[in-house]
Structure 1
Amino acid sequence: METIQDQTVLITGGSRGLGLAMVEALLRRQAKVTVLARDSQSLAAVEQLGAKGIQGDATDAALMDRLVADLRPKVLVLNAGATPWMGSIEEQTFESYSIVWNNDVKATLHGVQAALKAPMPKGGRVLLASSGAALVLSLPAIRAEAMRLSGGYVGAKRMIWLMAHNANSVARTRELGLLFQVLLPLQLVGVTGLGRAVAAAYAGRAGTTVEDHLARYGAPLRPEQYGEDVATLLTDPRYADGVAYGFRRDTPIAPLDA
């Protein structure tokens, strides 16, 4: 699509952090944005920006089915997720290890299924929020030792990447005209709750400060740049058929598909 103006957009987990940055960027382009989030106070702030807020849980399959069927969004952004419990493998319980699977992966699965069931309008885009952590044990690679405190987070974010490919296969087979794409911020975003929690855990184990840990990754990716980049992804024909894209401070959007 060459413009997002007047297009219906549904964003899960859009009331804070990178989700909110996407909401703001799309509102600036005059999209009709609806945000699904759990926190009523955060939703009230989003509504003041001009978006419509719906309080609810993106892991609720029936709710996602109903919202996608009713709204028929041209763009669905599956961004809802939880902050992982940070600890090395001998400190984890299965419950702590599974937090991101039970939130991020579950919410993404139900969102993907809702898009395929409805189905969304032809030409629609579904964006799945992953992480640069998904590059562990892949090429280009992040060393596995560098993510030793992140529990099931790495595998969960890798699974979300795979889910985009699985969904595209179904969409092609059924000739739905939908494109599923995965978003991978390639740097810790220290100003978000998730980025701060991750940086604090690793900095604490290394006996350094959060700022020193974040400095290892270079100039930080800003939420506002990420939001603008995602809006560009949706409207620039160069990004109209790839699946995986990476985002880094002051650099072009990077295709990550082999």
Structure 2
Amino acid sequence: MAEIGGSGESNGHHGEALDIKDEPLSSTSNSASLLTIPFVQKLIAEFLGTYFMVFAGCGVVVVDTQKDHMIGQAGIAIVWGVVVMVMIYSVGHISGAHFNPAVTIAFASIKRFPIKNIPAYVVAQILASTLASGSLKLIFNSKDNNLGATIPGGSDLQSLVLEFIITFYLMFVICAVATDNRAIGELAGLAIGSTILLNAMFAGPITGASMNPARTLGPAIVSNQYKGLWVYMLGPITGAIAGAWAYNIIRFTNKPLREIVKSASSLQRFNRRIQSDIQVV
């Protein structure tokens, strides 16, 4: 799976690990690194990934509301976690699979995403979320439904702190599994989706577990629900930036460069062997 940050820049480590380049540890990593993906294709992939994420995630909330909460909080959390995982594996190798302005900004803050590309990515994410919410409104045709809009269940301060913490947690995991050669990159989608599922399970009843300004803005615009909107802008963005910087602090290692490279090479050979066995069968 491609690096979630999508920058292809070096880690910026100190010491022996300075020149390590984060690349996906897969059997096709060498050939994939030689390809240049047009920026417009990245935007389209980011748009589609965000659209389907919001359509499925907010869609299950709408259905749960209309069907007397038959799905329940656990079911909603599972849908959010699974759809994020699926879309990461679908377009992560093209756009980096941010689907979230907070993640895009956080990656840029640690120099893993070009600052000049932030506006285009954020516009694509917000537009996709808004169109997905519009699609749900057309399909379910309910004026009373908030289309999965995130509204604080308690005080704004309580929701702000909770959104900061769960987004910090999410971004910390993203940096750990998707941008560090010492982690198994192929499991990034599973780890990130599981993190969203866990956050949605316990934070959903309080804040809606947004962790994503675009995910909040789309339903808010279409359903005209703007209560506590600032909470879902400030909390996720600051939480994601803090999470990215926190992982950078522990990313640095005294492990010799040859050991890290040897470990990565062994995993690549293992993946190639599995692919060969599958083709033979």
TM-score by length of 2: 0.30
Task: Return the structure number with greater helix share.
Answer: 2
Tell me: higher relative CO, structure 1 or 2? Use CA pairs within 8 A at least 6 residues apart: 2
- TM-score by length of structure 1 reads 0.32
